[in-house]
Structure formats: C-alpha cells, structure tokens
C-alpha cells in the first residue's frame, strides 16, 4: 500500500494514511496544520503538505476553522496557465506546511465561490486570514515570486 497522500484530496474525506503502519487517520479542518499522530502506532504525521481540493462547504469550514493564513488557488481543468501553476501551488503547500493551508477551488464546479471573490480570470490566488481577504492576485507566478507575495500578505512567516 502506498502511504503517501495524493496531491489533491477532498476535505470531506480527508484521510491521512500513516507512513509507518498504513492506518487511516481522519483529520478535521480545524487540525489541518497541526502535527498529528497516528491513532494506531503514534507515528507523527506532520502538517498537511499538499493542496486540498475543496467545495464551498469545505472552504467555509477550513477558512473559519484554521488560525493560519489560507492560500486559495481558483483554477479550471481547461486553463493552460492553471496547469502551469499547479506544480508551483504543490511546492508552496509542501514548503510552507504548518504555516499556510493551501486550497484549490475548481471554478467550473464552484462558480459561486469564484464570484464571491470577484474572480474574473484564472488562475487567481487569494490569501485569507481569519476568514477575511488579505490579498488577491491573478495570473501565473513562479514559486519564488509566489512566496514573496505570500510573505507580503503576512503568510508563511
């Protein structure tokens, strides 16, 4: 069994497999950034270090439930620049695990969320802190530029 999580996973079914014993551990939105331990063998699972594909309900639960900044990537499967940004977003999630929670919102599946934040072009990125919009930026950014932008928005510090 492969114990590594997929790159993107739904929060409603967030199950973190233990790399040591393979046990499936459920993590609630409020504890995505916490260092968890396996319920069976007590191995440290670490903070969630990959982007989470979310729907409107997951989005609301996470942005209300975490004290960390939240980076949201609004994207669509047909969007070339979105596909270019996906590995950058994955890198950000890994590099800033425990400092930032990274979410992905498919604008084709949840156009209401995109509309709520005035997203007119994708990829579009927002940073939320305590559920409030801190910064927003459209267009592809290389990882170093995205990290600088996140830092200027108070994330990843």
**pLDDT on residue 157:** 59
What CA–CA distances, in Å, run from 152 to 38, 55, 112?
A: 35, 27, 27
| CATH number of the structural domain 52-152 | 3.40.30.10
**pLDDT on residue 149:** 93
Q: Does pLDDT of 2 surpass 50?
A: no
Contact call for residues 110 and 56 (beta carbons, < 8 A): yes
User: What is the location of CATH 3.40.30.10 in the chain?
Assistant: 52-152
**pLDDT on residue 156:** 63
Q: What is the pLDDT of residues 26-56, one digit of tens each?
A: 887 777 777 788 999 999 988 888 899 999 9
Q: Give the pLDDT band (50/70/90) at residue 8.
A: very low
CA angle 12, 16, 22 (to 5 degrees): 140
Tokens 């997951």, located at residue: 58
DSSP 8-state secondary structure symbol assigned to residue 9: E
From 18, 38, 41, 79, the catalytic residue: 79
Decide which of 3.30.70, 3.30.450, 2.40.50, 2.30.30 is the CATH code for 9-46. 2.30.30
Q: Does pLDDT of 117 surpass 60?
A: yes
Contact call for residues 16 and 27 (beta carbons, < 8 A): yes
38 noted as active-site residue: no
18 noted as active-site residue: no
User: What is the location of CATH 2.30.30 in the chain?
Assistant: 9-46
Q: What is the pTM of this model?
A: 0.84
Closest CA relative to residue 32, chosen from 2, 58, 4: 58
Highest mean pLDDT out of 61-65, 71-75, 152-156: 71-75
Contact call for residues 138 and 124 (beta carbons, < 8 A): yes
Alpha helices in the chain (DSSP H): 56-65, 80-95, 111-116, 143-152
From 18, 21, 41, 82, the catalytic residue: 82
Q: What is the pLDDT of residues 94-114, one digit of tens each?
A: 999 889 999 999 999 999 999
């Amino acid at each position: 069994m492969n114990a590594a999580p997929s790159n993107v996973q739904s929060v409603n079914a967030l199950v973190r497999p233990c790399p040591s014993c393979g046990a499936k551990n459920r993590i609630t939105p409020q504890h995505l950034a916490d260092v968890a331990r396996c319920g069976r063998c007590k191995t440290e699972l670490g903070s969630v270090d990959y982007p989470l594909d979310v729907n409107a309900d997951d989005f609301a639960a996470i942005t209300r439930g975490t004290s960390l900044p939240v980076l949201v990537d609004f994207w669509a499967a047909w969007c070339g620049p979105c596909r270019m940004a996906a590995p950058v977003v994955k890198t950000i999630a890994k590099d800033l695990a425990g400092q930032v929670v990274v979410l992905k919102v498919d604008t084709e599946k949840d156009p209401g969320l995109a509309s709520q934040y005035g997203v007119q072009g994708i990829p579009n990125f927002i940073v939320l802190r305590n559920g409030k919009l801190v910064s927003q930026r459209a267009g592809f950014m290389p990882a170093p530029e995205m990290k600088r932008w996140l830092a200027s928005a108070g994330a990843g510090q």
